[in-house]
Amino acid sequence: MGRKVVWHRYDLRLRDNKALSEAGEEAVPVYIFDPEWLESELVSDSRIQFVFECLKDINRQYQVKDSRISLLYGDPVEELEKLNDRGYDVYFNKNANHFRQEMEEEVRNRFQGFSGDGVVRNKPGTRRKWDNNAKKYFRSKPPKIAESFDDNPVQNQVSLDEIGEKYSVRPEKKKFGPGGSEEAGNRLKSFLDNIEKYPSSISSPIKAEKNTSHLSPYIRYGCITRRQAYRHAKWRSKDSDQADRYKMFIDRLFWHLNFSQKIEDNPELFKESVNPVFRDLHRDKRDEKKIEAWKEGKTGYPLVDASMRALVRTGWINFRMRAMCATFFSYILKQWWKEGADFFYKHLIDADVAINYYQWQMHSGLVGVHKHRIYNPTKQVKDNDPRGEFIKKYVPELRPLSPEQIVKPWEMSEQEQRKTGVKIGKNYPEPIVNHEAETKKARKFFKAKKGSAHAAFKDDELWKKASLSPRHDRQKILEKASEQKSLKDY
Ligand SMILES: Cc1cc2nc3c(=O)[nH]c(=O)nc-3n(C[C@H](O)[C@H](O)[C@H](O)COP(=O)(O)OP(=O)(O)OC[C@H]3O[C@@H](n4cnc5c(N)ncnc54)[C@H](O)[C@@H]3O)c2cc1C
């Protein structure tokens, strides 16, 4: 039997790692820098830097166990083939949560893939008993790994410095925090120490910066697994009187698994809308000016602008602001969802193909079964940034405004504008669209399309691909199916 190469990619950890556990002490860990990833338009230098830090951390973990991780460079399938030709078996953890679906298929066919993440494979769209499976997975013990490993004989082909140099990696975002399992563990611990602040912080962009877990990039790169986070939270919650708060966190770990299931069932979900009725909606109405204003945080809506600037500057914003900016792009600016989703994906440090693209579809009304929640950015200021702290942090030109003025700066009188020095249309833009009017148009359109959107689910293949969670009852959806109504004027 040859030794076993363990190909790390979105599992940059030792513990709770099925492929590594199966390989035992003969494991030969490798990471492959894929030029296609490094050159992608959708990767920021800060995200590459985060991965560098994860790799340094995993290398330290291997060193403690007498091994190290080898850094290779090239097309992953070709590099793995070469190792296979040299007599190594190749082990890896299955994971469809990326853009290279053909590669995923190829490696699953050629090498030994393992399933240890709670995702149900080979039964696309069978979601009926999914919740029970998920619970079983979260409660189960992670597999054990070897006490120590044999020497790693595979030479490094590159160093992190060389990659950094070759691809001019210059992290441009405010430091997110070091990648790696050690930091993930520290974050989980300090977050749970303060869990009482969690519920009141989730929707507020300024409080969320401090009080949500910020584990998302660590989970994305596998520095910590959903199961590890779950088990630790469950253990901490035992003697706590904060059970409801722990539950909020645990629910989100389940949601996370739900999205990984969706991309396993529909690996194309990042390319086109799940529901064919909305395919290519707004695609031919590209408005460069509106898109640029949104990307640059110059829409004239202070909370949208602050959120977009925070996204670009830090690589992270909280759920509510992500949802608000996505609905603003799709329902209000009426631009093609994918362009907005790609922009998010590029800038988020936690960029996760399944969650990002599916959330975008849900927040653009494209699946056809979800409620249309079109967030109103002025109401959001009142509800979630009432003193304008977040806005003032990221949109400095609005700092002179009072909490009342900052909700709708365009309603300031000439005199107020003179007094504060904030001149609408000069040093801060007028709203680029009328939110209320655009919301009405969007609601009218989706109301007219509801019946046909539901009727699309008569198709068995589509139903499977949609991979809807068990709370969506197909029968009930089909009861609301009707013929397509055409709606001009959208
Ligand atoms: C348009 C849009 C795009 C998004 N893109 C991503 C993305 O690319 N990557 C990503 O990890 N999350 C994404 N989310 C979900 C959510 O906003 C982030 O997971 C969350 O803000 C991360 O912050 P946190 O780690 O402090 O979360 P916490 O509130 O501390 O939650 C704990 C963990 O649960 C998971 N989680 C939390 N909320 C969700 C959710 N709604 N869906 C699935 N998992 C969740 C995350 O792994 C998170 O780290 C997106 C949401 C929207 C609306």
pLDDT for the residue 1: 60
pLDDT for the residue 488: 54
Asked if residue 400 belongs to a domain, the reply is yes
Same domain, 256 and 283: no
For the whole model, what pTM was predicted? 0.97
Determine the residue of 350, 362, 367, 374 to mutate for testing ligand 1's pocket, defined as the one with the most ligand atoms within 8 A of the Cβ atom: 350
DSSP state of 329: I
- Backbone torsions φ then ψ of 190, nearest 5 degrees: -70, -30
pLDDT for the residue 485: 62
Q: Which residues of the chain register pLDDT less than 70? A: 1, 483-490
Same domain, 383 and 469: yes
Asked if residue 96 belongs to a domain, the reply is no
Which ligand 1 atom minimizes the distance to the CA of 317? 21
Q: Which of 242, 265, 288 is the last residue of a domain?
A: 265
What is the span of the domain harbouring residue 222? Answer: 181-265
Same domain, 363 and 475: yes
Asked if residue 27 belongs to a domain, the reply is no
pLDDT for the residue 482: 80
Same domain, 321 and 412: yes
pLDDT for the residue 424: 98
**Cβ–ligand 1 contact at 336 (below 6 Å):** no
Q: Which of 239, 265, 291 is the last residue of a domain?
A: 265
d(CA 377, CA 409): 12
Nearest CA-CA partner of 390 in 210, 130, 216: 210
Same domain, 209 and 280: no
For residue 372, the domain's CATH number is 1.10.579.10
**Cβ–ligand 1 contact at 356 (below 6 Å):** yes
Q: Which of 244, 265, 286 is the last residue of a domain?
A: 265
Q: Looking at the 3D structure of the chain, how many domains does it have? A: 2
Sequence-ordered list of residues with C-beta below 8 angstroms from that of 363, at least 6 positions apart, any chain: 323, 326, 327, 330, 373
Same domain, 244 and 300: no
Average pLDDT taken over every residue of the chain: 96
Asked if residue 210 belongs to a domain, the reply is yes
Asked if residue 383 belongs to a domain, the reply is yes
Which ligand 1 atom minimizes the distance to the CA of 352? 8
Same domain, 237 and 319: no
Same domain, 421 and 374: yes
**Cβ–ligand 1 contact at 245 (below 6 Å):** no
Same domain, 308 and 255: no
Same domain, 305 and 355: yes
Asked if residue 328 belongs to a domain, the reply is yes
Same domain, 250 and 280: no
